[in-house]
Amino acid sequence: MRTESSVDDRGHLWLAIGAVWLSIALSALVAVVNAKRGTISQGEFMADLAIYGLLCIVPYKLQRRSNAARYVYLVLSCAGTLYALGGGSFTSRMDEILGWLWVPINFWTLYVMFLTPEASQFGDRVGRELDKR
């Protein structure tokens, strides 16, 4: 029998973390397309993939309900949103479209991770309980 507190894997929080994974995957895909088109050099492509690989730590830790990862995601989301809204230079048109697409999704994921009842699932005690499962 499932209780409300055990629905965490099926609720909005699960979707928000999935959106973070999806944003990294789509960004990597855009980097591949940009490299194939010659929009970015091979060195830039390798640097992009290395950064996206490191960024995979954030949603992984979010799945483990790490409070620190939640704040890292907050800072990264705010920086990306300010870059997009500030008219930052995008590598390609696809990169720009993806950047603008993720602005409202980032707001929604931050809302879920900080302002909903599911946000109480983050913290050290909760992370240790998940490790026991």
89 by DSSP, 3-state: which?
A: coil
Contact of 55 with 94, CB cutoff 8 Å: no
Q: What is the pLDDT along the chain (133 residues), one digit of tens a residue?
A: 444 444 444 588 999 999 999 999 999 999 999 999 988 899 999 999 999 999 999 999 999 999 999 999 999 999 888 887 777 677 778 878 887 888 899 999 999 999 988 888 887 555 455 555 5
48, two tokens: 């992009």
Rounded CA gap, 32 and 45, in Å?
7
Do the beta carbons of residue 58 and residue 72 sit within 8 Å?
Answer: yes
